[in-house]
Structure 1
Amino acid sequence: MLHINRENLKSSHQLIWFIIDFLMLGLLIINLAFIIWDSIYNFVAIQELLKDHTPALQALYHPIHERFIFYDMIFVSIFLGEFFLRWGYSVKASIYDRWYFYPFIHWYDLVGCIPVGSLRFLRVLRVISIVYRLHQYKIIDVTNTKTYRFVNFYYEAFMEELSDRIVLKVLSGVQQEVKRGSPLFDKIQQDILYPRRAMLSDWISMRVAEAAQEGYVPNRGALRSYLEDRVDNALKQNLELSRLKYLPVVGPTIQETLEEAVGDIVAHVIHQILEDLASASNHAFIEDIVNVFLPTPGEVEADEAQNEALINLIIEILDAVKEQVRVKYWREELP
């Protein structure tokens, strides 16, 4: 059921225009019903049926049918009057940048006023525009109506089915391209990634330095203690090292000194690696790694087995995506 928010209607500064909207909405509904009825009455079979069962109604309406254009023009004159009134107001209020923009933006109002065949049904667009305007200003709320929920549900279902079919078609095409050995990946590597190899090295180097700086430096002491503790436990479990304590006099001292030395060396090495990664000196190391993954075109020939494995991996990933796309979420909302 469509409810009118009277408070918003009264507090609105465009009350007069909303009243005109409601009047025009009623006239449009009456006019469209008149057009539909006259189109149905236009069939001879309908006229004969009415003549046989309701001759009074047929005799009353038949003269109206013969002068249908005249009666329709009465509605058209009202619609055109309202159109020019709003056009004049838009010019006075400078709603649009140019005075002649209004008829182009509201073209459906003009075209719907042409009293020719199917063009009359463009007046439905005028109904929709009025309802949308009232909804936009919160005078009415169409989202609470059963009609809106019904139409919106099947619209969303249609769009999901349509988009799913398009996505599946595109993914299937990508799979076929991959199976045929499409040069796409070579183009990406040679024409896009390789020319930007220096930029990628700089970016990765910067990100690694930031990650090491933010992650390691504040936790340096805790990491060192953890490494020393892990190394100490590992050395205590080593049988060869545990035998040193059986040496007379100096055995336990040697064992303890060795454990401390190894722990300190491991912690120092890890510390030095992370310090290097956290500084600008990591650039050469990162650049070497990038060069391994993005060699100069023609420098290294790809292995066929690796290519085949990569193609199969991509196809399996696309199959998984297609399976997910096939899920129909709109069916879960069916009552």
Structure 2
Amino acid sequence: MLHINRENLKSSHQLVWFIIDFLMLGLLILNLAFIIWDSIYNFVAIQNLLKEHAPALQSAYHPIHERFIFYDMIFVTIFLTEFFVRWGYAIKASVYDRWYFYPFIHWYDLVGCIPVGSLRFLRILRVISIIYRLHQYRIIDITSTKIYRFVNFYYEAFMEELSDRIVLKVLSGVQDEVRRGSPLFDRIQKDILYPRRDMLSDWISQRVAEAAQEGYVPNRGALRNYLEGRVDQALKQNLELSRLKYLPVVGPTIQETLEDAVGDIVANVIHQILEDLASSSNHAFIEDIVNVFLPTPDQVAADETQNQALIDLIIEILDAIKGQVKVKHWRAQLP
């Protein structure tokens, strides 16, 4: 059910124009109903059917049908009068940059007033524009109506089906281009990624340092205890090391000392690696990794096996994207 927000209507500075909108909306609906009914009545079979079953209705409406143009012109006169009044107000209020912009922007108002059968139905565009304007100013809320939800559901379903087919077609074309050795792949690597190796190195270095500082530094104690515990457990399960305890006198002491030393060494190594990653000194290490993934163009051209592996990876990624695109989300909303 469509409700009118009377508070917004009263508080608006365009109350007169909104009242005119409601009047025009009612006249347009009445006029369109009149046009549809007269188009149906125009069939001889309908006229004969009314003569047989409702002769009074047929005899009352037939004179109106014969003078349909006259009655339609009454509506057209009202619509044109309202159009020129709004045009004059737009000129006075400088709504548009030029005084002659109004008829071009509201062309459907003029075209719908042409008394030709096929053009008369363009008046439905004026109905839509009035409803949209009232909704935009929150006088009415069309999203709460069942008609809007029904139309919007199938519109979204249609757009999803259409966009999915377009995306699948585009992705399939990209896959074909990659398989044929399209220069696009080489352009991405040589002209886009390779010249930006330094920027990528700086960015990755900064992100790795931030991740290490936020993830490791606050939890270094817990991580050290965890590493030492895991090393101790691994050393106790080692057969060669467990035999040291059978040495007389010093065996257990040597075994315990080795366990503590190895655990401490492992924890310190991990600690130093993460400390380096969390500082600016990780830049050289990250730069070496980026150089491996983004070698010079000469190295890329020489390594065909690596290129083919990367091409296969891109194709698999596109296949995964196509599989996700094929999912019909609108079907999940069906009752």
Letter in 2 for 1:34: F
Letter in 2 for 1:271: H
Greater shift after overlay, 231-240 or 117-126?
231-240
Q: What's the offset of the Cα at 1:304?
A: 5.2
**2: distance between equivalents of 1:50 and 1:237?**
101
- Figure out how many residues of one structure are paired with residues of the other and give that number: 335
TM-score by length of 1: 0.85
Distance 1:246-1:328 versus aligned 2 partners, 3 A rule: closer
Q: What's the offset of the Cα at 1:230?
A: 2.5
Greater shift after overlay, 234-243 or 75-84?
234-243
Q: What's the offset of the Cα at 1:76?
A: 1.8
**2: distance between equivalents of 1:256 and 1:49?**
109
Q: What's the offset of the Cα at 1:268?
A: 2.2
Q: What's the offset of the Cα at 1:28?
A: 1.0
**2: distance between equivalents of 1:300 and 1:86?**
67
* Aligned positions of 1:37-186 closer than 5 A: 37-42=37-42, 61=61, 64-186=64-186
**2: distance between equivalents of 1:144 and 1:220?**
56
**2: distance between equivalents of 1:41 and 1:166?**
44
Letter in 1 for 2:102: Y
Structure 1 stretches of 5 or more lacking a match?
Answer: none
Structure 2 stretches of 5 or more lacking a match?
Answer: none
Letter in 2 for 1:80: L
Partner secondary structure for residue 290 of structure 2: helix
Q: What's the offset of the Cα at 1:8?
A: 4.3
Matched, 1:292 2:292: yes
Greater shift after overlay, 120-129 or 253-262?
253-262
2:218 aligned partner: 218
TM-score by length of 2: 0.85
Letter in 2 for 1:104: F
Matched, 1:36 2:26: no
Q: What's the offset of the Cα at 1:80?
A: 1.8
**2: distance between equivalents of 1:131 and 1:28?**
12
Q: What's the offset of the Cα at 1:151?
A: 1.9
Greater shift after overlay, 217-226 or 151-160?
217-226
Letter in 1 for 2:238: N
Matched, 1:245 2:251: no
Q: What's the offset of the Cα at 1:292?
A: 0.9
Distance 1:115-1:171 versus aligned 2 partners, 3 A rule: same
Matched, 1:16 2:16: yes
What's the CA shift string for 1:200-238, capped at 9, x where partnerless?
111111111222222222223332333233223322332
Task: Give yes or no for contact 2:300–2:307 (8 Å, CA) kept in 1.
Answer: no
Matched, 1:193 2:190: no
Q: What's the offset of the Cα at 1:198?
A: 1.2
1:329 aligned partner: 329
Partner secondary structure for residue 299 of structure 1: helix
**2: distance between equivalents of 1:104 and 1:271?**
72
Task: Give yes or no for contact 2:175–2:315 (8 Å, CA) kept in 1.
Answer: yes
Report sequence identity in percent.
87
Letter in 1 for 2:249: V
